[in-house]
Amino acid sequence: MTPIQLSTLIKQHALELGFNACGIAQADYLDTEARRLEEWLNQDRHGSMQWMERNFEKRVDPRQLLPGTKSVISVLSSYFHPDHITQIGQSHTPQIAKYAQGRDYHKVLKKKLGALLDFIQEVTGHVQGRCFVDSAPVLDKAWAVKAGLGWIGKNSNLLNKQLGSYFFLGEVLIDVPLVYDTIETDHCGACTQCLDACPTDAIYEPYRVDASRCISYLTIEHKGEIDQKYHTDIQNWVFGCDVCQDVCPWNKHAQLARFTDFHPREKVVHWMEHSRDHLSDEDFNRLFEGAAVRRATYEGFQRNLDIVHQNLFS
């Protein structure tokens, strides 16, 4: 089987599995991204995410993760749902980022990527490969760009003409050469809507984000008390933040999530629309069973909810 035949089969099967898009890049050292990451870390833009400082070489060279890697297969999977449209601009109820209103994406996508790798092994006879879904030091947005799946927007998110940015990313590394896709050009133009809308000015200049100021970081990754100066800016975001995505013109093209596990859970939407009460530990675990929200922990979620209630109801 020729590289072009195998590449075509891989992309076709990725779509058959339910992914919205698939692209392929040649595995290599990410020289430009390495310099940018080093600068970002040296400026302490990563806040308390010390894990970003570890495994630097693995982050910028996938061959350190799987020796002999020749190709990086990237996939996009939409999590958008029509119910999300009614949530945009809601300011009077607690809000959870859209991606976290369904089932935790890690398990869903890892299983699907495993099926894609199994397919590759079946049609090739033998191939070494590994699957990744935000679970290892992989610069997934950089590889998606190199695979022709979009460009990095001014809010540092990956943007895609057909999907916007409401999607998850995943990768399969394999040790066989394939046909590689062409890099997409930047289509942000003169637009600055994401910079203008960011509540905490975390997007301090185009294409540059200070994670330590980002509401998603503050409500998920940050441990301990949140600095009082951010309380009002957090507004009603109890887990994550979608502001820079909601204002992005490219998200007018968002496509429906093909995996129903990513659709908003009715009980979560109901809680956002009607809750003014604190949750017990038991209620929290029941409400967000199998959801990414549990990453914040019960204590962290309650911390966030205290701030949101103060903003909304005091």
> Per-residue pLDDT tens for 237-284?
999 999 999 999 999 989 999 999 999 999 999 999 887 778 899 999
Query: Quick one: average pLDDT of 139-145?
Result: 96
Active-site residue flag, 181: no
pLDDT of residue 306: 95
Query: Quick one: average pLDDT of 156-179?
Result: 97
Confidence of residue 53 (pLDDT cuts 50, 70, 90): confident
DSSP string, the chain: --HHHHHHHHHHHHHHHT-SEEEEEE----HHHHHHHHHHHHTTTTTT-GGGGSSHHHHH-GGGTSTT--EEEEEEEE-B-THHHHHTT--SS-EE-GGGSSS-HHHHHHHHHHHHHHHHHHHHS---EEEESSSSS--HHHHHHHTTS-EE-TTS-EEBTTTBT-EEEEEEEESS--PPPPPPPP--TT--HHHHH-TT--EEETTEE-GGG-HHIIIII--SPPPGGGHHHHTTEEE---HHHHT-GGGGG--B-SSGGGSPPHHHHHHHHH--SPPPHHHHHHHTTTSGGGGGHHHHHHHHHHHHHHHHH-
pLDDT of residue 308: 96
Confidence of residue 72 (pLDDT cuts 50, 70, 90): very high
User: Which range has the worst mean pLDDT, 34-43, 106-115, 291-300?
Assistant: 34-43
pLDDT of residue 51: 66
Q: pLDDT digits over 32-51, tens only?
A: 999 998 988 888 888 777 76
pLDDT of residue 88: 79
Query: Quick one: average pLDDT of 122-146?
Result: 93
Q: pLDDT digits over 8-25, tens only?
A: 999 999 999 999 999 999
Task: Determine which one of 28, 83, 104, 134 is catalytic.
Answer: 134
pLDDT of residue 97: 97
Question: CA-to-CA distance for 70 and 221, rounded, in angstroms?
Answer: 33
pLDDT of residue 253: 82
Query: Quick one: average pLDDT of 71-84?
Result: 95
Mean pLDDT across the chain, nearest whole number?
A: 94
Query: Quick one: average pLDDT of 199-222?
Result: 96
Confidence of residue 151 (pLDDT cuts 50, 70, 90): very high
Share of the chain above pLDDT 70, in %: 100
Is residue 171 within 8 A of residue 178, CB to CB? The reply is no
